[in-house]
Structure 1
């Protein structure tokens, strides 16, 4: 069921993206020949008016076919005036930009909805909300346990990690070494039972530092605390959503740039399999909020990647339409066709890197959500 929900989520994102193109094309008077979910071979199709609607067999995207998207296309005379390349530049830009804009609006609506219904994160609680395998907390602590004390001290949530990391390995720390002294952890279960367990945290060289400016690496027990939320109104939710989406946008652009010069950057890229798996795991763990946040992130990422100025991406069509406006006359199709090789190679690179990373994760520890 979780996989079906994840795939359904992706289908909705694709449908809405293509619907953006479709609705805009209809609105400005272009002729839409086909509105397709997924790629051929076609499994089902039906024609309504001048547009054919259908579902393809390859679940890797979707498309809207607008008459005249290829300048070399032979168009019946009665439809020539509604062809894409016969339209003013502003109409072409509106139609192409409508897809990514729809993805941005979807991401915005999801994030605003989460903020208004669940509230914004305002620190952390002392309730355990995630436990990692292969760490001391696994099997010793339980989801939903409330941290009462650490080493006999009642601590604020922000100080718990600091106290755990004060237990260090003997000598120079190496990955997986156990601390020389145990942490005494007192927790209260959901049924009210209070218990104390002694656990030796292990060193994780990739763990974020407790304080900014410190190097990575500290001892951990392998659990996370649930966030604490505060209710906000629409104005605050909308403002914070825009700010958060901007941070994601700059981070996504930076991550794509790192593909070309950083091996670590390439390892961070995830493909369709990885994205679907992570969303599926979120649904499976009944963390609907996290699943919706991931879908919002993916929707925003689709918009960002699609706006890169290379054909066949949407940004490529926008770039050449604006270039035509600046030049004052149409750009020869052979020039656009040759330039599109750059975009095609970029798309293949992103797909290949993402798929390779997905395969490596599936062979290894999987796509850990927590």
Structure 2
């Protein structure tokens, strides 16, 4: 049964990824067709064609490898300045120039005279910008809808003021692990000394009335090693507990690896799933976007750790993973002991986070990503606008073909990173649950 649930989880997640990718490409295709651009192919996946059908001038289909997709818009690369498109030939000059001219030649082998005016590069810069931005924006919308549905219809765990666990001893966060046991040299936690019990409801801390766990945490941290008087409700009666908090190393936040030395008590809260409003969704999306951008900034550093994990190093729980790793996590969630609702929420959250990552990754202003084409369109608009303003000759289209060497290097790096992540996800995968 566990194996069957794992397979179901993987299949559902992969299907969600394929739908997300297809909608991303649809985001490119629909405005392209609306602006009169010629679109010849729309495929989900890569590799060998499994199925396809042609409708009008566009072939729609499914490829064998469910790890992406593409839409072919004709005329992405303009001819060189002053060059007749009909006379583009494969070059036999230097390697870089050959690379550029050969790419132009391959592009224009499929272009005929009747395509004039329908080529991507011939359209207004703002139309090109909309076409390229619409793909990742679709992923942003998908992430917003999924997270919004999750938070508003199911809810999100909210820490309550009732104690869930009482820590026996003081262990710095830098040494903590799931298997770390207290030793004779460890200090007794202040909460243990004070006599806290599971189920105690915290009413006040040093005279301050407590209404939420988010209110209590900064009070404990700011108390450092000073006396603490805590009023709790236990079995319907109020009880006053006294102790001294101590300074200990803890994570700055649940999403941060940074360690800070702050006041420590040694209790953790119970959690209750609470439905949220639209304002919470907007606020949370903002936080998730900032967090994802920061994660992208740390990507090279994290990748080094991933490479080390392949040869026996420890794999960090927050390290990046490939579609293989994400699918494995989805299968692990599906076969876990969580309730059906919790499993569904976890899978939706995973797919939503993936869509947000795909959107922000594609916004990176570097070819062959969408952001690279967007920057080209914006630069074209700026150049032509300035030329009109100062009554100078039209500088023409931005020749993105000149950036192909950089694009090929970037694409090679992306492929290498992808292969590295796949290997790590097979050799040393991230596991949500121990055992």
Residue 193 of structure 1 corresponds to which residue in structure 2?
Answer: none
For the structure 1 residues 39 and 174, does the alpha-carbon distance in structure 2 shift closer, same or farther, using more than 3 Å as the test?
A: closer
Residue 165 to residue 102, structure 1, CA distance change in 2 (3 Å): farther
Provide the residue aligned with 1:233 in structure 2: 277
| Partner SS for 1:227 | strand
Q: In 1, Cα distance between the equivalents of 2:30 and 2:159?
A: 42
Are 1:86 and 2:122 an aligned pair? yes
Within 5 Å, give how 1:123-202 maps onto structure 2.
123-124=159-160, 156-157=163-164, 160=165, 163-166=166-169, 176=179, 178-180=181-183
Moved over 6 A (4+): 181-188, 209-212
Alignment of 1:10 with 2:74, yes or no, is no
Equivalent position of 1:255 in the other structure? 298
The structural deviation recorded for 1:254 is: 2.5
Offset at residue 122 of structure 1 (A): 2.3
The 3-state SS of whatever aligns with 2:276 is coil
Partners of 1:279 and 1:295 within 8 A in 2: no
**Aligned-partner SS, 2:297:** helix
Residues 279/317 of structure 1: CA separation in 2 closer, same or farther (3 Å cut):
same
Instruction: Please give the alpha-carbon distance, in whole angstroms, between the structure 2 residues aligned to 1:345 and 1:77.
Output: 34
Between 1:63-72 and 1:287-296, the stretch displaced more is 63-72
SS of 1:29's equivalent in the other structure is coil
Give the 3-state SS of the residue equivalent to 1:331 in structure 2: coil
State the SS of the aligned residue for 2:43.
strand
Structure 2 unpaired stretches of 5+? 1-7, 79-103, 200-248, 309-314, 384-394
Say which of 40, 55, 67 aligns to 2:62.
55
Equivalent residue, structure 2, for 1:145: none
CA gap of 1:264–1:79, structure 2 versus 1, over 3 A, is closer
Q: How many Å apart are 1:369 and its aligned residue?
A: 5.3
Q: Given that residues 76 and 121 in structure 2 are in contact (C-alpha distance below 8 angstroms), is that contact kept between their aligned partners in structure 1?
A: yes
Equivalent residue, structure 2, for 1:352? 419
Return the alpha-carbon distance in structure 2 between the equivalents of residues 114 and 209 of structure 1.
Answer: 26
Residues 297 and 323 of structure 1, relative CA distance in 2, 3 Å threshold: same
Aligned to 1:319: 375
Larger radius of gyration: 2
The gaps in structure 1 that reach 5 residues or longer are 126-154, 189-205
Distance 1:94 1:174 in 2: 49
Identify the structure with bigger relative contact order (alpha carbons < 8 Å, sequence gap 6+): 2
Q: Do 1:24 and 1:94's aligned partners in 2 also have CA atoms closer than 8 Å?
A: yes
Deviations 1:11-44 (A, max 9, x none): 1111111111111212222121111011132111
More displaced 10-residue stretch of structure 1: 316-325 or 15-24: 316-325
